[in-house]
């Protein structure tokens, strides 16, 4: 069956199922699970919560499975480095794997983790891989150097990686050469123009030319880009480069073709500086360049557009290359509009006296199409041809007059606009057509067309018999016209008055000046009107000199680029996005580097499932004795750990919420709760009565230690299993509160054939800031786990470290890493119980309780599906878990008991928590309402209360 089946499921609860399958000992089942994870990741689903389980699958000889795991790692290494950092030691180990594919995967993945401290662990594997016997490993390592430089440039330079990359330009494998070159180009861009890292010379040039023919297409692009950037003034060198590059014009990849064109254009510039200007050589190269450029237009429209934007630049720089190929750019009926527009631009640039008849015939056809934008562009193209080619102007005007006769509104208006430009380009030559234009005034409704016609009337007022009548018609709507039309009307009226100072013209100029100075909001129009008024009132002759002055002849530069920008785009950025935008990269590309994650910034993540929650990703803590406040070194210890092992399932889902029945005032009213605030006895919290591991001695065996502590192997076996590893080390344990602090009671079992030592423990950042007081596990006896399945109890005191508290929302998950010298690193998940967090003496006055209940945010409510034998039993069990009972009463007419209790939790800065419990003794269901400063505390209570009320906490 096809692997497409893995994309077909979106069922609820599949994350939990995937977890179980990933932990399976059945290899095909595990591989299928990883494929499902990759499929979910591919379609955009967040499967980061499966990270520990997927990482556990790395320890396999199955190459396909390992490749899948690395694919997962690479995806999350870039966006979630705090997850990928867990597997760094495995990467280092795999970088020495006998399989070159695994070595390359390992070093590539390490390069994707943008965490500063990782670089120290990456250097040695990278150095080995750069000198690896396998070319695939070497080419992968070369790219990794560029990634490393982006994270830590000084380290790359100090370790000599740049010199190694330059040496790799002489590698026997062309792909290694291409990747080394690509890495150096990337580093050069990061370093800026001040450093010449590539250090191109004739020797390097020959090596690159030799590798050019044997590279893949993208390798050729990198080499061609470096050749285009090579600064040579020797025409012979330029000819040698061009001769080696010319065969690349026949390549099937358009990127290679355009890159080759860029190199040859650069060589043309150099050859042109040589003896005789190199005309024959340039002509020969131009003939060879034309067919490949034409061939690009046979591709799909998107590629055509990119090619046309590049060809537009080439034609502006060297029009002779495609001078005889104008027909290629004639538009097809099924071309998209964006392709047609680009072809029009190039047709205008290639238009000449030899082909203008063909071009005009084609443009005339376009002007009768149905697409309005294309028609407008075509009409303007005719006008631009007239402006550019003086010998063809009359033919262009005749075509425009034919189009005006069609009486199509937008065609007529565009024709008038371009005819105005023709009049400005060729003054006093084609005024005979003005009468035809004046016959079409009724079709003018666009500001630009109106402005153009008004300019013609004002400019040639002395040749138009009824110019004052035409102008008067336009002036009737003067106040409603756009600013462009108003400015043109003002100037044209002044011209009319100066050329034909009749009575009607005088009235018009007075009306216009009055309106423009008194009734307009446009400062431009008002200021120009005042200037004209003062000129006319003080010196009419001076006004003539100003307004009727001879105007400079225009040229068609509407779509031409600045020469320096054109030079930059053609020689440096051809075949890039800059050539498509016709803008230098710095105007649209941000040069900001990707953020490098610092070790101290690595926080925890929440792994959320559809049916529960488990702990976030693991980030190590330093040895508490040596690094009380040094969070920056938090990653260091973890990097010394080894491969992870499977993690257990998540905690149970929260209970279903149910609303409370009555207000607090009614239930507390009339009760004799006194002033002590304690209506039930508080259980003893002495360490002697509650610490089953307190008497473990130094040299005693595990069994004797358990006996000495008064705990039997059966009691040890009752601890919940946190990690079960057949044939390895298994972990059971529970978080409890002893002696005023949280303690981790663990039972370790070694099922291997040899002793296990060097045990260290550390926790991930969590909502409560819990971390081991000492990371070194104090094992009884010689400090080792004996083989043979012996259960060894360990007591791990935990402290609350404010720097390890994660931001809200609150989560009960705790992720733990257990390091050993023999079996590597074991990862497991646990949940922090409520009873381990509630502090001794967390009581408060009943009146304070009532006031706090009223003042705090609305309560969160839930119904716990369990039965409580009696209110007295409930009070005893609450008190044993340091939940201080303040009041108890019967709820009238319901048969329910109502208990009010409080507790204090300092860990995580939670503070005082208020509870209301209502239940019917012996019946199923307890309604719980919770109030606290932090509203997310309610879930902690809902998760922890069942164990407290059932007496299993």
**494 shares a domain with 585:** no
What's the pLDDT score for residue 706? 42
Same domain, residue pair 554 and 582: no
Who's near 674: CB < 8 A, 6+ residues apart? Answer: 846
Same domain as 777, residue 735: yes
What 8-state DSSP symbol labels residue 660?
A: -
Q: What is the DSSP letter of 111?
A: H
Q: Model confidence over 189-228: pLDDT tens digits?
A: 888 777 777 778 888 888 888 888 888 999 999 999 999 8
Residues (pLDDT < 70) of the chain are 1-13, 78-79, 82-84, 86, 117-118, 556-559, 591-715, 717
Cα angle for residues 137, 138, 139 (degrees, 5° grid): 95
Give the end of a domain, one of 536, 558, 580.
Answer: 558
The pLDDT value recorded for residue 501 is 87
In this predicted structure, what is the pLDDT of residue 65? 87
**Residues 517, 582 within the same domain:** no
Give the total number of structural domains in the chain.
4
Cα gap 934→916, rounded to integer Å: 17
469 in a domain, yes or no?
yes
Give the C-alpha separation, 573 to 313, whole Å: 10
874 is in which domain, residue-wise?
Answer: 846-950
Nearest to 310 by CA among 559, 567, 573: 573
Q: Is 465 contained in some domain?
A: yes
**Is 171 a member of any domain?**
no
**Residue with structure tokens 């105005």?**
420
Task: Choose among 317, 321, 323: nearest CA to 350.
Answer: 323
Q: Of 558, 577, 601, which marks where a domain is finished?
A: 558
Alpha carbon separation from 91 to 114, 124, 674 (Å, rounded): 15, 12, 65
Please indicate, yes or no, whether residues 822 and 852 belong to a single structural domain of this protein.
no
SS3 percent helix, strand, coil of the chain, rounded to 5, is 55, 10, 35
Cβ–Cβ under 8 Å, residues 915 and 949 = no
- Give helix 217-229 / helix 235-245 axis angle, nearest 10°: 170
**Sign of the CA dihedral with 529 first, then 532, 535, and 536 last:** negative
Do 765 and 754 belong together in one domain? yes
CB-CB neighbours of 286 under 10 Å: 16
Residue 604: half-sphere exposure toward Cβ, Cα within 13 Å: 31
Q: Are residues 296 and 312 in the same domain?
A: yes
Distance CA 421, CA 438 (A): 17
d(CA 683, CA 689): 11
- 723 and 806 in a single domain? The answer is yes
What kind and span of H or E run contains 346? Answer: helix 337-350
Hey, what long-range contacts does 385-389 have (CB within 8 A, 24 or more apart)? Answer: 385/348, 385/351, 385/356, 385/359, 385/360, 386/418, 386/422, 386/425, 387/421, 387/422, 387/425, 387/554, 387/555, 387/556, 388/348, 388/351, 388/555, 388/556, 389/351, 389/352, 389/353, 389/356
Q: What element of type H or E holds 494?
A: helix 483-499
The verdict on residue 307 lying in a domain is yes
Contact 454, 488 (CB under 8 A): yes
Token pair for 338: 């964006």
Give the C-alpha separation, 752 to 822, whole Å: 10
Distance, in Å, from the CA atom of 240 to the CA atom of 244, rounded to the nearest integer, reads: 6
Quickly count: other Cβ atoms within 10 Å of residue 209's Cβ.
Answer: 16
Place of tokens 């945010």: 857
Q: Determine the pLDDT at residue 6.
A: 53
Same domain, yes or no: 451 and 524: yes
Cis peptide before 809 (omega within 30 of 0): yes
Domain assignment of residue 133, yes or no: no
Shared domain for 485 and 566, answered yes or no, is no
Residue 559 pLDDT: 64
DSSP string, 679-709: -SPPPP--HHHH-TTTT--SS--HHHHHHHT
Token output for 283: 């002509």
Whether 721 and 796 share a structural domain:
yes
- Domain termination residue (choose one: 541, 568, 589): 589
Contact by Cβ (8 Å): 577, 585: yes
CATH number at residue 790: 2.60.40.1150
Buried b (16+ CB within 10 A) or exposed e, 710-719: ebeeeebeeb
Task: Give the Cα separation of 865 and 198 in Å (integer).
Answer: 71
Verify that 910 and 827 share a domain, yes or no.
Answer: no
91 within some domain:
no
We report the CATH number of the domain holding residue 921 as: 3.30.310.10
- pLDDT given at position 598: 57
Answer whether residue 152 is part of any domain.
Answer: no
> Is 543 inside a domain boundary?
yes
């Amino acid at each position: 069956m096809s692997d497409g089946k893995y994309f077909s499921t979106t069922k609820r609860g599949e994350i939990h199922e995937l977890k179980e399958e990933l932990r399976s000992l059945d290899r095909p089942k595990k591989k299928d699970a990883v494929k499902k994870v990759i499929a979910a990741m591919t379609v955009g689903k967040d499967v980061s919560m499966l990270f520990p389980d997927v990482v556990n699958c790395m320890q396999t000889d199955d190459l396909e499975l390992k490749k899948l795991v690395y694919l997962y790692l690479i995806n999350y290494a870039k966006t979630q480095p705090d997850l990928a950092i867990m597997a760094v030691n495995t990467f280092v180990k795999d970088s020495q794997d006998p399989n070159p594919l695994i070595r390359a995967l390992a070093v590539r993945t390490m390069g994707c983790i943008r965490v500063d401290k990782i670089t120290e662990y990456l250097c040695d594997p990278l150095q080995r891989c750069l000198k690896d016997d396998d070319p695939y490993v070497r080419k992968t390592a070369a790219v990794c150097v560029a990634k490393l430089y982006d994270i830590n440039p000084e380290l790359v330079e100090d370790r000599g990686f740049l010199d190694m990359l330059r040496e790799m330009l002489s590698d026997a494998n062309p792909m290694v050469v291409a990747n080394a070159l690509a890495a150096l180009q990337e580093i050069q861009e990061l370093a800026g123009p001040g450093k010449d890292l590539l250090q191109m010379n004739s020797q390097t040039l020959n090596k690159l030319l030799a590798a050019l023919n044997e590279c893949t297409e993208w390798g050729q692009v990198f080499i061609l880009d470096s050749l285009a950037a090579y600064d040579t003034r020797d025409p012979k060198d330029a000819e040698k480069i061009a001769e080696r590059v010319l065969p690349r014009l026949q390549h099937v990849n358009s990127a290679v073709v355009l890159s080759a064109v860029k190199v040859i254009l650069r060589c043309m510039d150099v050859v042109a500086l040589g003896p005789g200007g190199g005309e024959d050589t340039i002509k020969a190269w131009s003939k060879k360049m034309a067919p490949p450029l034409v061939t690009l237009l046979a591709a799909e429209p998107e590629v055509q557009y990119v090619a046309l934007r590049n060809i537009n630049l080439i034609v502006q720089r060297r029009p002779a290359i495609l001078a005889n190929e104008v027909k290629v750019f004639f538009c097809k009926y099924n071309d998209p509009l964006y392709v047609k527009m680009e072809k029009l631009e190039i047709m205008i640039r290639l238009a000449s006296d030899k082909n203008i008849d063909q071009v005009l015939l084609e443009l005339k056809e376009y002007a009768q199409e149905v697409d309005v934008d294309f028609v407008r562009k075509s009409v303007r193209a005719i006008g631009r041809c007239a402006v550019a080619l003086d010998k063809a102007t009359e033919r262009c005007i005749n075509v425009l007059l034919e189009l005006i006769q069609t009486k199509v509104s937008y065609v007529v208006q565009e024709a008038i606009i371009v005819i105005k430009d023709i009049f400005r380009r060729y003054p006093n030559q084609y005024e005979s057509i003005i009468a035809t234009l004046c016959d079409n005034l009724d079709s003018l409704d666009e500001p630009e067309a109106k402005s153009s016609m008004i300019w013609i009337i004002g400019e040639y007022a002395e040749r138009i018999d009824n110019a004052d009548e035409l102008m008067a018609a336009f002036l009737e709507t003067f106040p409603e016209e756009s600013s462009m039309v108003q400015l043109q009307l003002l100037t044209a009226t002044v011209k009319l008055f100066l050329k034909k100072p009749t009575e009607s013209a005088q009235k018009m100029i007075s009306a216009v000046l009055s309106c423009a100075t008194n009734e307009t909001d446009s400062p431009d129009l008002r200021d120009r009107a005042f200037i004209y008024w003062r000129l006319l009132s003080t010196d009419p002759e001076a006004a003539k000199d100003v307004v009727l002055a001879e105007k400079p002849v225009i040229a068609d530069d509407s779509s031409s680029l600045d020469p320096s920008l054109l030079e930059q785009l053609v020689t440096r950025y051809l075949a890039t996005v800059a050539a498509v935008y016709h803008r230098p990269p710095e105007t649209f590309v941000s040069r900001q580097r990707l953020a490098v994650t610092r070790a101290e910034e690595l926080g925890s993540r929440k792994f959320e499932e559809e049916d529960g929650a488990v702990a976030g990703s693991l980030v190590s803590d330093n040895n508490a004795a040596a690094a009380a406040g040094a969070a920056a070194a938090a990653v260091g210890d973890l990097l010394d750990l080894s491969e992870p092992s499977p993690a257990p399932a998540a905690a149970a889902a929260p209970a279903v919420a149910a609303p409370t029945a009555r207000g607090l005032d009614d239930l507390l009213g009339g009760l004799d709760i006194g002033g002590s605030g304690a209506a039930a006895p508080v259980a003893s919290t002495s360490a002697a009565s509650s610490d089953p591991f307190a008497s473990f001695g130094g040299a005693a065996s595990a069994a004797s230690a358990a006996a000495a502590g008064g705990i039997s192997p059966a009691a040890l076996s009752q601890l919940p299993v946190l990690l079960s590893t057949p044939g390895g080390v298994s972990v059971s344990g529970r978080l409890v509160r002893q002696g005023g602090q949280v303690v981790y009671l663990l039972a370790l079992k070694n099922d291997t054939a040899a002793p296990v030592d060097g045990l260290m423990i550390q926790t991930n950042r969590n909502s409560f800031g819990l971390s081991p007081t000492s990371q070194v596990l104090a094992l009884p006896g010689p400090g080792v786990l004996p083989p043979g399945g012996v259960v060894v109890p360990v007591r791990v005191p935990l402290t609350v470290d404010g720097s390890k508290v994660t931001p809200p929302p609150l989560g009960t998950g705790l992720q733990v890493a257990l390091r050993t010298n023999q079996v590597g690193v074991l990862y497991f998940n646990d949940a922090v119980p409520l009873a381990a967090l509630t502090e001794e003496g967390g009581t408060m006055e009943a009146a304070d309780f009532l006031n706090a209940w009223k003042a705090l945010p609305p309560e969160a409510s839930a119904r716990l599906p369990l039965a409580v034998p009696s209110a007295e039993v409930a009070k005893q069990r609450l008190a044993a878990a340091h939940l201080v009972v303040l009041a108890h009463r019967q709820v009238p007419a319901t048969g329910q008991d109502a208990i009010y209790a409080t507790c204090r939790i300092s860990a995580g800065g939670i503070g005082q928590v208020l509870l209301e419990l209502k239940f019917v003794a012996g019946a199923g269901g307890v309604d719980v309402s919770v109030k606290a400063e932090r509203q997310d505390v309610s879930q902690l209570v809902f998760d922890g209360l069942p164990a407290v009320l059932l007496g299993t906490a």
